[in-house]
Amino acid sequence: MKKFLSLVLLVMLLIPAFAQAEGTVTVFNWQDYIDESVIEDFEKETGIKVNYVRFTTNEDMMVQVDANPGHFDLCFPSEYIVERMISQDMLSEINYDHIPNAKYILENLQNSTYDPGNAHSVPYMWGTVGILYNTKLVSDPVDSWGILWNPKYMKNVFMLDSYRDSMGVSLKSLGYSMNSENILELEMAKEKLLEQKRIGTLKAYQVDETKDKMVSGEAALAVMWSGDALYAMDLNEDLAYAVPNEGSNVWVDCMVIPKNAKNKENAEKFIDFLCRPDIAQRNCEYIWYSSPNSGAIALMGEDYISNPAINPSEETLARCEFFRDIKEPYRSIYVTLFEEVKSAK
Amino acid sequence: MMDLQLPAWATWVMLAGLAVFLAMMILFIRRNHGMKRSLFASPYALWMAIFTILPCILIGYYALTDASGKFTLDNFRHFWDSNYAKNQLYATMGEAAAPFIKRGTVNVDTLIYSLWMAFLCTVICLVIGYPAALFMADRQMKLGATLVVLFIIPMWMNFLLRTIAWMSLLEDQGLINRVLRFLGFEGVQLMYNSGAVLLGMVYNFLPFMVFPIYNSLNKMDPKLHEAAQDLGCNNWKTLYKVTMPLSLPGVISGITMVFMPSVTTFFLPRILGGGNTMMFGDLIESKFLTEGNWNVGSALSLIMMILIMISLGILRKADPEGEGGSMI
Amino acid sequence: MSKFIRFIKKSYLALILLFLYLPIGVLIVQSFNAGKSRAKWEGFSLHWYADLFKDRAIMEALQVTLGVAVIAAIVSTVLGTLAAIGIHSMKKRPQAFMMTLTNIPNTMPDIVTGISLMLLFIFTKVERGFVTMLLAHITFDVPYVILSVLPKLKQMNKHSYEAALDLGAPPVYALFHVILPEIMPGVITGAMLAFTLSLDDFVISYFTTSPLVQNLSTLIYSAARRGIEPTLNALSALMFIALLILLLIVNRRTADNSKKA
C-alpha cells in the first residue's frame, strides 16, 4: 500500500498545474518571432504569466484558433489573414486606451486597407519577400524571379512551403498580380511551378528550416522573408538578399485579439509592452524584420535606416503589393493547384 | 462547422458513468460471491465503445456528410478526382475555363505512391532483417538475448529526433558528404528525394521485422535442425526446407508490423524528402490541419482504414493462428 | 571455414547495429558541440545541458510526457488486467468478439486513431489538452496490456481459482492471492510496454492535444522545422542514458535472482 501511495504522490507531482485564471496571457506567435527575454521582462514587470505557443504558417494558425475557441488571447496573423478573420467575425476590437504606446506606429501603417482604422489589429513587424542567395554559388545578377528556373542552378533552389507565397512568386514571375483571381493566370502559375520541378532546379519546399540551411551553404537560392534573410546574412557573409524587379509581396504581421479571448486586458498590456520603443527595438534587432514603430526606428539609428533589405527604396516598394484575402472559391483553387504541384513527382 | 453537437458536459457524464459503473462492479464482487468473472471486462468494453468505436463512427459520419451536415458522397468523389470542387466551379465559368477541366489524380497517385513505398520498405526490411534474425537465433553464437536488447535500445530515442539526426548525416553539407569530400570524392545529393524517405522508413521499422522472426526462430526445436541434417540435408537445404517454413508466422507478423505503419508514414517525407513528395499520411494531415476540411479528410482516412483492414485480412489468411510472436 | 562463416555473420550483425546506432551517436555528439550548427564541430561544451534545465518549454513538456506516461500506464494496466481476466473466462463467441475489439486499435493506423479521437473531442466540445491526451494514451495502451496478460492466464492452472473459492476464499481475495501472483510477469510487461509506448508516442498526441499542452514529441515536431536546438539533443541523450542504466539494473537483478534460484 505504501508503494501505491508513493506512486500516487509521484503522479500528483508530475501533473503540471494548469492555471487559466487571472494573471496569464496566452500568446500564439510565429516560430522565432520574438526575443524571448522580452517575455521574461514582461512577466517580471507585470506579474502576468505568459503561455507562449508557436505556429509555422498563417493557415495552421487559423485552423488552431478555430478548433480551440477561447484558448488564445493574442495572435500574430499577416494582413490578409487579419482581413479574413475580421470578415469571419473572429476578432474583438482593440481598446486603444490600454495601449498608449500605439502612438509610435508609423503613420502610413495606421489606417490600413485590410483593417480600416486598425480597429482590430496593431502592426508588429513588416517586411518583403525576396531571394536570398549565396554569392559564391550565384554569378548571375539576381534581379528577376526567373533565376529560380535557371537550369544552371540544378537542385539549388529552396521554395516556401506555403501556397500563397509560392503561387505568388510564380504569378509575379509571369507578370500577374499575387492576388490574381483569374483562373487562366492561376493555371499558368501552377504550370510554371511544375516546370520548376521538371527542370530540376527545385531542391525542397520548406519553411523555417531554410534559413539555417542557407547559412551552412546547403543551396544557392532561396525564396525568403526579408527578416529571415537578414538573420542568415548576419551568420554567413556570402549571403545576399534581393527583391526582384517584377515586384514582390510586402506584408505586415499584426497583433490581434480573438473574439472569445479569456484575458483580453492582459493581451492589451502585452501589445502595449511590445509597442514600447526600447522593447520594439530589442525584438527588431533580434528577428531582423522592419519595425513599424517610429520610436524604435529612432533608437536604432542610421545603420538600420540605410539598410536596403530592411528599408527598401520607394521604387522597390512601389513594385510590391500586399496580399489581399482571397475569397472562396478561389482560395480552394489556390490550395488544389499547389497540392498538385507538391505531389508531382 | 458542424451542426450535430453534443453539449460539453456529455463526455464528462459518460466518464462519470464509467466511474459509477466501476464502483458498482466492485460492490457487486464484494457482495455477491457468485459474480461472473467475465464481467471484469465490462469497464474495458465500455471504454472501447466510447474511445474506439464512437470515434470510428464519427469518421464515417464526417466522410458521408458535407460541411452543413447533409448526406453526400462528394468526399469520395473528391478522393477519385482531387480537382472535383475546382472542376465544378470551372464548369460554371464558360468557355475560358473549359480546357482546364480534367480529373485531378493527386489523391490516387499519392495513395499508390505510399503503397509502393511501403511495399519497398517491407521488402528491404525483410531482406535485411531475415538474415539478422537468423544469425541472432544461431544457438552456437549465443548472441540472441544481448542483441535483442541492442535492437530495442535505439527505439527509446525519440523517433522524431532520430529522423532529424539522419538529416544531419544526409544533407549536402552533412556529415557523410563532408567525409566524402575530405576523401577527395564528389559530394552526392542524398537527401530531398524518395530514397532518403525510404531510408528513414527502413531505419524506423527494421526492428519490427527482426523481432517477430527472431521469436519464431527461437521457439523452434533445435532437434528439428539436427534431424534434417541426419536425414541428409545440407545447410542450405535445411534452411530452405525446415527453418524457413517454420518461421513463416514470424515473417507474416513482421510484414504486418512493418507494412502498416509504413503506409501511413507522415513527417518523414517533409524532413528527409524536403517536402518534394507527399505520402498519404501527409495528405490526411494537411486536409485536417492546414485546410480544415474534415469531411474530405475523414473520407481519406476511411479509405486508408478499409485498405489496411483488407490487407490484414489477407495476411491473417496466410497465418490463421496469428502466432507470429508479439511486439518485442 | 566455420570460423569464417561465424565472422561473416558477426560482421553482418555489427553492420546493422552500426546502421541503427549511427544517428544516435551523431545526436549525442551534437549535444556536446559548443556551436549550434549541425554539421560543424566548434569545440566541446556542456552548455546545452545547462541550458536544458533553464528552458521552461522543455521542462514543462517533460512533465507532461512523464505525467501522461505514468498515469496512462497505471490506468491501462488496471483496466487491461481486469479485462484480460474477464475475457479469459468468457465463452467462445463473446471472447472472439472482445478479441476483435482489442485488435482494432492495433490494426488502425496511428494517424487514423489520432484523428478519430480528435473528432470525438471536438464533437463533444471537450477542450483538448492534458486530459484528452491522457485518455487517448490509455486507449491505445490497454490492448497491449491485455495482449501481454492473456498468455499468462492461458498458462495458469484453471482449477486453482475455483479451488480457492471452494475452500471459502472470497472472490476478491482469490483474485489478489491466486490469480494475480501467477500473471504478475505479464502484468509488469504490459505496464512497461504501455509506459514506453506512451513515452514515445507522437502521432496520436499530436492530434489530441492543443498547442498549449505539449509533450516532448510534439514539442520536437514544432521545433523540427527550423532545426533542432541542441538542448533537445542534450535532453534525449540524458533520457537515453537513464533508460540504459535502468535496463542494466533490471538485468543485474534478474541475473542475481536466477543465480539464487
Distance between CA B252 and CA A240 in Å, rounded? 55
Report which DSSP code applies to B82: T
Q: What is the pLDDT of residues B115-165, one digit of tens each?
A: 999 999 999 999 999 999 988 888 777 777 788 888 888 877 788 888 888
B139 and B38 housed in the same domain:
no
**Candidate from C64, C71, C212 with C-beta closest to A11:** C71
Contact A57 B290 (CB under 8 A): yes
* Residue A265 vs residue C93, higher pLDDT: A265
Inform me whether the C-beta atom of residue B2 falls under 8 Å from chain C C-beta atoms: yes
Q: Is C73 part of any domain? A: yes
What pLDDT is attached to residue B235? 78
User: Which element (helix H / strand E) includes B13?
Assistant: helix B9-31
In angstroms, the first-to-last Cα distance of chain B is 43
Inform me whether the C-beta atom of residue C64 falls under 8 Å from chain A C-beta atoms: yes
Please give the average per-residue pLDDT across A7-18, as a whole number. Answer: 48
Of A110-114, A169-173, C197-201, where does the model show the most confidence?
Answer: A169-173
pLDDT at B9 over 70: no
**Candidate from C70, C128, C227 with C-beta closest to A14:** C70
Instruction: Tell me the residues of A at the C interface, defined by beta carbons under 8 Å apart.
Output: 7, 10-11, 14-16, 18, 26, 28, 31-32, 51-56, 64, 67-68, 70-71, 206-209, 211-213, 215-216
Q: Is B84 part of any domain? A: no
**Candidate from A51, A54, A211 with C-beta closest to C222:** A54
Shortest CA distance from A210: residue in chain B: B274
Chain B and chain C share a number of CB contacts under 8 A equal to 246
Continuous H helices in C55-178: 56-88, 92-107, 110-123, 130-155, 158-166, 171-174
Q: What is the pLDDT of residues B287-296, one digit of tens each?
A: 988 888 899 9
3-state secondary structure (DSSP) of residue B74: helix
pLDDT at B262 over 80: yes
- Identify the bridge partners of residue A121 per DSSP, sorted by sequence position: A256
pLDDT at B8 over 70: no
Please give the average per-residue pLDDT across C220-242, as a whole number. Answer: 78
What pLDDT is attached to residue B35? 54
What pLDDT is attached to residue B107? 93
Query: A8 falls in which pLDDT band (50, 70, 90)?
Result: low
CB C112 within 8 A of CB B264: yes
Instruction: Calculate the CA dihedral of residues A195, A200, A204, A205 and round it to 10 degrees.
Output: 0
Instruction: Give the start-to-end residue ranges of the domains of chain A.
Output: 16-126+252-315, 127-250+318-343
Inform me whether the C-beta atom of residue B56 falls under 8 Å from chain C C-beta atoms: yes
What pLDDT is attached to residue A63? 83
User: Which residues, 6+ apart, have CB-to-CB distance to B72 below 8 Å?
Assistant: B64, B65, B66
User: Which element (helix H / strand E) includes B3?
Assistant: none
**φ, ψ (nearest 5 deg) of residue A52:** -110, 120
Total structural domains within chain B: 2
Residues of chain A contacting residue B94, judged by C-beta atoms under 8 Å apart = none
- Please give the single-letter amino acid code of residue A101: N
Beta-strand runs (E) in B92-147: none
User: Is residue C139 packed enough to be buried (19+ CB in 10 Å), middle (13-18) or exposed (0-12)?
Assistant: buried
Distance from CA of A314 to the nearest CA of C (A): 32
Please give the average per-residue pLDDT across C59-67, as a whole number. Answer: 91
* Fold classified for A16-126+252-315: D-Maltodextrin-Binding Protein; domain 2 (3.40.190)
**Candidate from C6, C120, C170 with C-beta closest to B58:** C120
Please give the average per-residue pLDDT across C16-23, as a whole number. Answer: 92
pLDDT at B320 over 60: no
Query: C226 falls in which pLDDT band (50, 70, 90)?
Result: low
* Residue C123 vs residue B119, higher pLDDT: B119
CA C87 to centroid of chain Cα atoms: 23
B230 and B305 housed in the same domain:
yes
- Identify the bridge partners of residue A63 per DSSP, sorted by sequence position: none
Total structural domains within chain C: 1
Q: What is the pLDDT of residues A43-87, one digit of tens each?
A: 999 999 998 888 878 888 888 888 888 889 999 999 999 999 999
Please give the average per-residue pLDDT across B38-46, as a whole number. Answer: 82
Distance from CA of C80 to the nearest CA of B (A): 7
Inform me whether the C-beta atom of residue C127 falls under 8 Å from chain A C-beta atoms: yes
CATH number where C208 lies: 1.10.3720.10
Distance between CA A142 and CA A136 in Å, rounded? 13
pLDDT at B22 over 80: no
Distance from CA of C146 to the nearest CA of A (A): 22
Residues of chain A contacting residue C226, judged by C-beta atoms under 8 Å apart = 31-32, 208-209, 211-212
Chain A and chain B share a number of CB contacts under 8 A equal to 81
B38 and B167 housed in the same domain:
no
Inform me whether the C-beta atom of residue C213 falls under 8 Å from chain A C-beta atoms: yes
Q: Is B245 part of any domain? A: yes
What pLDDT is attached to residue A14? 47
3-state secondary structure (DSSP) of residue C43: coil
Distance between CA B168 and CA B128 in Å, rounded? 24
CATH number where B202 lies: 1.10.3720.10
What domain range is B214 assigned to?
106-318
Q: Is C247 part of any domain? A: no
3-state secondary structure (DSSP) of residue A327: coil
**Candidate from B104, B189, B290 with C-beta closest to A60:** B290
pLDDT at A2 over 70: no
Contact B104 A336 (CB under 8 A): yes
Report which DSSP code applies to B49: I
Please give the average per-residue pLDDT across C174-202, as a whole number. Answer: 86
- Residue for grid cell 508503494: A3
- Within 10 angstroms of residue B171's Cβ, the number of other Cβ atoms is 22
Length of chain C counted residue by residue:
261
What pLDDT is attached to residue B290? 81
Q: Is B93 part of any domain? A: no
**Candidate from C37, C60, C225 with C-beta closest to A16:** C60
B122 and B46 housed in the same domain:
no
Query: C258 falls in which pLDDT band (50, 70, 90)?
Result: low
Q: Is C105 part of any domain? A: yes
User: Which residues, 6+ apart, have CB-to-CB distance to C143 below 8 Å?
Assistant: C80, C102, C103, C105, C106
| Average pLDDT over chain B, rounded to an integer | 83
What pLDDT is attached to residue A293? 92
Distance between CA B87 and CA B92 in Å, rounded? 9
Contact B55 C119 (CB under 8 A): yes
What pLDDT is attached to residue C189? 85
Q: Is C221 part of any domain? A: yes
Distance from CA of C257 to the nearest CA of B (A): 17
Contact C118 B288 (CB under 8 A): yes
Chain A and chain C share a number of CB contacts under 8 A equal to 71
Residues of chain B contacting residue C251, judged by C-beta atoms under 8 Å apart = 149
Q: Which of residues 197-256 of B touch C (CB under 8 A)?
A: 203, 206-207
Contact B206 C171 (CB under 8 A): no
- Please give the single-letter amino acid code of residue A177: S
- Residue for grid cell 516598394: A317
Contact B175 C136 (CB under 8 A): no
Please give the average per-residue pLDDT across A260-270, as a whole number. Answer: 93
Distance between CA A132 and CA B160 in Å, rounded? 29
Contact C23 B165 (CB under 8 A): yes
- Identify the bridge partners of residue A157 per DSSP, sorted by sequence position: A202, A221
pTM: 0.86
**φ, ψ (nearest 5 deg) of residue B112:** -65, -45
Of A144-158, B259-273, B297-311, where does the model show the most confidence?
Answer: A144-158
User: Is residue C242 packed enough to be buried (19+ CB in 10 Å), middle (13-18) or exposed (0-12)?
Assistant: exposed
Q: Of B281, B256, B254, which Cα lies nearest the Cα of B113?
A: B281
* Residue B253 vs residue B20, higher pLDDT: B253
pLDDT at A205 over 90: yes
Q: Of B278, B236, B281, which Cα lies nearest the Cα of B260?
A: B281
pLDDT at C225 over 80: no
Q: Which chains touch C (3 or more CB pairs under 8 A)?
A: A, B
Q: Which chains touch A (3 or more CB pairs under 8 A)?
A: B, C
Contact A343 B104 (CB under 8 A): no
Distance from CA of B164 to the nearest CA of A (A): 12
| Average pLDDT over chain C, rounded to an integer | 85
User: Which residues, 6+ apart, have CB-to-CB distance to C222 below 8 Å?
Assistant: A31, A54, A56, C211, C214
**φ, ψ (nearest 5 deg) of residue A223:** -75, 125
Q: What is the pLDDT of residues A305-329, one digit of tens each?
A: 888 888 888 888 889 999 999 988 8
**Candidate from B96, B106, B274 with C-beta closest to A206:** B274
What domain range is C176 assigned to?
57-240
- Identify the bridge partners of residue A240 per DSSP, sorted by sequence position: A133
Shortest CA distance from C149: residue in chain B: B326
Distance between CA B53 and CA C61 in Å, rounded? 30
CB B275 within 8 A of CB C100: no
Q: What is the pLDDT of residues B196-251, one digit of tens each?
A: 999 999 999 999 899 899 988 888 877 887 888 788 777 788 787 888 888 888 89
Q: Of C13, C147, C7, C191, which Cα lies nearest the Cα of B206?
A: C13
- ipTM associated with this complex: 0.84
Instruction: Tell me the residues of B at the A interface, defined by beta carbons under 8 Å apart.
Output: 1, 82-83, 85-86, 89-90, 93, 96-97, 100, 104, 106, 109-110, 113, 171-173, 189, 192, 270, 274-278, 283, 286, 288-292
Q: Is C206 part of any domain? A: yes
3-state secondary structure (DSSP) of residue B266: coil
Angle between helices A79-87 and A58-67 (to 10 degrees): 30
The arrangement of secondary structure in A127-250+318-343, i.e. its CATH architecture, is 3-Layer(aba) Sandwich (3.40)
Residues of chain C contacting residue B18, judged by C-beta atoms under 8 Å apart = none
Length of chain A counted residue by residue:
345
CB A232 within 8 A of CB A215: yes
Inform me whether the C-beta atom of residue C122 falls under 8 Å from chain A C-beta atoms: yes
In chain A, the percentage of residues whose pLDDT exceeds 70 is 94
Instruction: Calculate the CA dihedral of residues A180, A183, A188, A192 and round it to 10 degrees.
Output: 60
User: Which of A15, A30, A224 would best serve as a mutation to test chain C binding (most C beta carbons within 10 A)?
Assistant: A15
Q: Of A134, A123, A35, which Cα lies nearest the Cα of A82?
A: A123
The sign of the dihedral angle between the CA atoms of C193, C195, C200, C201 is positive
Q: What is the pLDDT of residues B66-100, one digit of tens each?
A: 988 889 999 999 999 999 888 988 988 888 888 88
Query: A18 falls in which pLDDT band (50, 70, 90)?
Result: very low
Distance from CA of A11 to the nearest CA of C (A): 6
Please give the average per-residue pLDDT across A94-103, as a whole number. Answer: 93
Distance between CA A16 and CA C214 in Å, rounded? 11
CB B177 within 8 A of CB B190: yes
- Identify the bridge partners of residue A30 per DSSP, sorted by sequence position: A55
B56 and B157 housed in the same domain:
no
Beta-strand runs (E) in A10-48: 24-30
Report which DSSP code applies to A191: H
| DSSP state string for A130-184 | EEEEETTT--S---SGGGGG-GGGTT-EEEES-HHHHHHHHHHHTT--TT---HH
